[in-house]
Structure 1
């Protein structure tokens, strides 16, 4: 058994602390999220509040692939976070990643970052729309943030409601947006079609689409009506696809 790891220069003197957290991961802090992967908020007297993600052990083929041919999710999460921060795009401060390799297969992997305080997620903009007096302003500032991501030739493939943290920065009189769950990204020049498609996993409401379309058209110098038409079309297609999947799952459930 061996461990592969990479730790940010700022935290390399704290390697023993990080190893100790891995050893005691299941009993430390509080669970933020637990499904396939487990995310814990872990307070530490030296490092402060940490967000530590333990990735689910892959199936056998991917154990071999991630250990020998492809970067693991923990590896990608760390270096994608480094890329975002280098371009001035917000994400919780990356600390490092660890991979446990045994018999040429990956067994466990962890991604460490600082825990980022936030006020709400994009999901709450959808589900609690009437709770926000400045709902439209938040949405417009979010579009500006996404445009900045795209202009940096970044396609964040998991741009979904739970992966956008939002904080009201009263000193700057602005809303700050931060991305999490970063392992799926690509880096390339993006067409308008790719850029608009990138919004669709956010579960946009009909009320959101005109605002997003107008703002994005303003920044990208595209035709507003065309941009809005494309967003509606893509969003409707996404909704139809989700409904089909639900029906198929329901049918399969009945047949089991």
Structure 2
């Protein structure tokens, strides 16, 4: 059984979109090819659309996604609509497709409009001399503050999930990989916790904390200390996991 839902702007492309889903493995151009999810681009109706294929869920999750919880594809679509309603940029949500059988969800796809972006947040981490880096960080902080003020806790707020488009002296930020969000009132501790995955240097933390304090009612020292603590705790946890994994693999050899 197949469930397809398209934004009303794209209902006229239903047949073409389903054709792309049917031949996803053999057609389209790779955008990303990960272990879990694959994204391909397709030319449809004079536009470039990206189709994200989510990893086939295991048996228990398959049942859960059919009967108890929304699929990642459906959540991605619905969360994108919420972001746009809050005037927060994300690639325009075209629709989603879910395939099920008697046991549960077998496959799901999220379709969005392709965005020609200039770079993503990762370059700001890897290249401290990146042109206009400090100003981009300040504008990114304003963007993130807007998220928080709209009660949006983007749980995958990591470097690869923010695309950046240069628009003169202004920078536009687009969120991707949307299926993990919570919509809740956020205190300062939770707000700074939300930034921990960005793998920020101390200089980046100071720039972000300074800007966040300036545009909010929170004192700089409190913002800075909470952001520094959450960022360092996260880095230590990830580095420890990597160390233990390397140690385990070495012992296994």
TM class by smaller structure: over 0.9
Deviations 1:77-112 (A, max 9, x none): 000000001111000000000000001311110000
Per the alignment, residue 202 of structure 1 pairs with 198
What's the CA shift for 1:247?
1.4
1:169 alignment counterpart: 167
Aligned to 1:232: 228
Equivalent in the alignment of 1:189: 185
Listed one character per residue, the Cα deviations across residues 100-151 of structure 1 (whole Å, up to 9, x for unaligned) are 000131111000000011000000111122131x110000000000000111
Deviation at 1:33, TM superposition (A): 1.1
**Distance of 1:60 and 1:220 partners within structure 2:** 46
Q: 1:255 offset after TM fit, Å? A: 3.4
Q: CA RMSD in A?
A: 1.0
Residue of structure 1 equivalent to 2:43: 43
Whether the 8 Å CA contact 1:68–1:104 is kept in 2: the answer is no
Poorly superposed stretches of 4+, deviation over 2 Å = none
Does the 8 A contact of 1:159 with 1:202 survive in 2?
yes
- Distance in 1 between residues matched to 2:216 and 2:26, nearest whole Å: 48
Shift of residue 47, structure 1, vs aligned partner = 4.3
Give the aligned partner of residue 100 of structure 1.
Answer: 99
Deviation at 1:38, TM superposition (A): 0.2
Residue 77 (str. 1) matches residue 76 (str. 2) = yes
Tell me the equivalent position of 1:146. Answer: 144
**Residue matched to 1:31:** 30
Unpaired runs of 5+ in structure 2?
Answer: none
Partner of 1:136: 134
Q: 1:252, CA displacement in angstroms?
A: 1.9
CA distance in 2, matches of 1:190, 1:110: 31
Aligned-partner Cα distance in 1 for 2:19–2:42: 12
1:222 aligns with 2:188: no
Shift in Å at residue 29 of structure 1? Answer: 2.5
Q: 1:65: Cα distance to partner?
A: 0.3
* CA distance in structure 1 between the partners assigned to 2:64 and 2:147 by the alignment: 29
Farther off after superposition, 214-223 or 179-188: 214-223
Partner Cα distance (1:212, 1:80) in 2: 26
